[in-house]
Structure 1
Amino acid sequence: MILPSPDGRFWPEAHITSLHCLRHTHRLFLEFLDLPMSAPTPTAIEVKAFLPAQDFRRSLLFYQALGFNCVWSDGKLAELRLDTASFILQDFYIAEHARSFQMHLLVASIDAWHAMFRTEGIDVEFGVRPGEIANQPWGLRDFVFLDPNGVMWRVAQRLEGS
């Protein structure tokens, strides 16, 4: 049997691999639909983590106290956003998962974030105390805290010159 090639010549079937046939068929199909021959390059718009919450309502209040706005919620999931940072809070909790989970938040002023725990009463109301601020060898100044569910957050600011 003789099959047409993409350039209009004919090749014996024995010289055409299955992959070539699939590519040729795909190309002909795209031409038929008048679509571009190459697929668009995949791009990412954003990535969001799903954070566990043992007490969903209390966790939602905690993150709102930190300044996150609840974009939407259905009582089991909530999207929380602060400026360009966002995540999904979920009414799902496994202790081992929560204790192994970490978040990183890059901020403009590490000192303002660290002080907020005391000035806003977050340390008293939620029992969450920030660790000490430290300069890291990877060019960040940061501190950590554990949210009410045991999720570790590392809040950081770039060191000048980094």
Structure 2
Amino acid sequence: MNVTKLRPFIPSGKDYILAQRFFEDLGFEKVYSDDGLSIFKIGEQEFFLQNYHNQEFQDNYMVELEVEDLDGWWSLIQSVTLEKNYPIKAKEPTMYPWGKREINLIDPSGVCWHISEAKK
């Protein structure tokens, strides 16, 4: 059986509009949006941003985004954070014992994104 796509549902937190702007500023294209759900795409990867808030869930939700230019992403995250003053936390690219170099980013809702460097 073939699988063609896996799209996670990411909670927006209290401020759905802020979450949408944050992901657009990171370079994701919003391909659909209504009051309850937005679809974001970058390259061939997509996720659903759900207008949903449950802080305990959000604080325990994690997703990995694998990228080719981790340092480029770090520069983008820093510039977007400084320019727009988003309520996020981010840790610089770090090599972890499990063999991945990654950025840990807590988005405005509290979701932890592991932005990792693709193996070359």
The two structures share one fold, judged by TM-score above 0.5: yes
Q: Which runs of 5+ in 2 are unaligned?
A: none
Aligned to 1:3: none
Equivalent residue for 2:8? Answer: 49
For CA contacts below 8 A with separation 6 or more, give which structure has more relative contact order. 2
Distance 1:159 1:78 in 2: 30
Unaligned 5+ segments in structure 1 are 1-41
2:36 to 73, 76, 96: 76
Aligned with 1:137 (options 97, 104, 118): 97
What is the CA–CA distance in structure 2 between the aligned matches of 1:57 and 1:86, rounded to whole Å?
Answer: 18
Instruction: Measure the CA separation in 1 of the matches of 2:99 and 2:92.
Output: 17
**Structure 2 counterparts to residues 11-90 of structure 1, below 5 A:** 42-53=1-12, 54-90=14-50
Deviation at 1:71, TM superposition (A): 0.8
Deviation at 1:127, TM superposition (A): 2.7
Identity, % of aligned positions: 25
User: In the aligned structure 2, how far is the partner of 1:68 from the partner of 1:158?
Assistant: 18
**For residue 52 of structure 1, what is the amino acid of its counterpart?**
P
Which residue does the alignment assign to 1:125?
A: 85
Higher Cα radius of gyration = 1
1:105 equivalent in structure 2: 65
Give the structure with the higher percent helix. 1
State the 1:86 CA deviation. 1.1
Report the alpha carbon displacement of residue 57 of structure 1 after superposing the two structures with TM: 0.7
Deviations 1:41-82 (A, max 9, x none): x32111111111121111000000000000111221000011
Aligned counterparts of 1:48 and 1:89: Cα–Cα separation in 2: 10
1:98 and 1:57 mapped to 2: Cα distance?
Answer: 17
Partners of 1:129 and 1:97 lie apart in 2 by 17
Q: Provide, for residues 100-123 of structure 1, a one-character-per-residue CA deviation record: whole Å limited to 9, x for no partner.
A: 10010100011011111222x324
What SS does structure 2 have at the residue aligned with 1:156?
strand
Structure-2 separation of matches of 1:95 and 1:118: 25
TM-score by structure 1 length? 0.68
